[in-house]
Amino acid sequence: MIELKLRFRVPIQLFFVFGFPIFLMIAFSVIFAKNNPSYLQENLGIIMMYAVLSASIASLSIEISKYNADQYYSMLERRGANKYVYLLAQILGFVLIVFLSSLVILAIAVVVYHYQLPRFGVVLLYYVKLYLYAIPFFLISIIIGFGVKNPAIASSLGLPIMFVSFFLSGMMIPFSQMTGIIRVISANFFLTQLLSALTETLTHHYLLQPNWLEILLSVAVILLLAIYTIRHRSFAKR
């Protein structure tokens, strides 16, 4: 609860979690709806992932880096607290904020763009998948946050990673409009495949068939890097 309250006191983090995803939704809806009137209906599952990437890579990674550089985790440990539990509390705080952000996106889609909500069971399944597929990106935020020396470097590294992920996964240019080598790279990018699975939950069709072996291998690599970073690069001490 402390971490959740702190997040609402940081304007730049609120922008990335709420303002930025909403801006992208409106901007891309205006751009792509000209050629595809059902753009929002077909892509809302992808659009709601904006909040996950913005919250994790652009916000949580910077917050972890700041806490680590200020030796906050070490201070907690010296006072008898468990630094890993507090790190988990940070992640859960962002998870709750992502949920609120996604609800705002969903509400705007319904009210402004007349999005037709699927039945409750489908929406619930979508959220289960959304949080499950968000795990790699919270791990990436841990890698960035603990792997760099200060929040400025975390920001300069996290933002490009976020935008490259947006581009390669078809979140900025729809996958159907990609051609050549970019389409090949995108098709083999694990985030593109996860987004395809999310889209299928709401629309009952895949953008491309997910390669779950490729996805699992990608997540396994990210997990191993996160474990290594936490063990060897994290929790700075005086």
* C-alpha–C-alpha distance, residues 198 and 43, integer Å: 10
Q: Over range 25-45, report the average pLDDT.
A: 82
The pLDDT tens digits for 104-145 are 999 998 998 888 888 999 999 999 999 999 999 999 999 999
With a cut of 60, say whether residue 147 has pLDDT above it: yes
Task: Encode pLDDT of 80-92 as tens digits.
Answer: 888 888 888 889 9
In the predicted model, what is the mean pLDDT of residues 86-102?
89
Distance of CA 133 to the CA centre of its chain: 9
Residue with tokens 């730049």: 12
Centre a 10 Å sphere on the Cβ of residue 61 and count the other Cβ atoms it contains. 30
Joined tokens for residue 114 = 């007349």
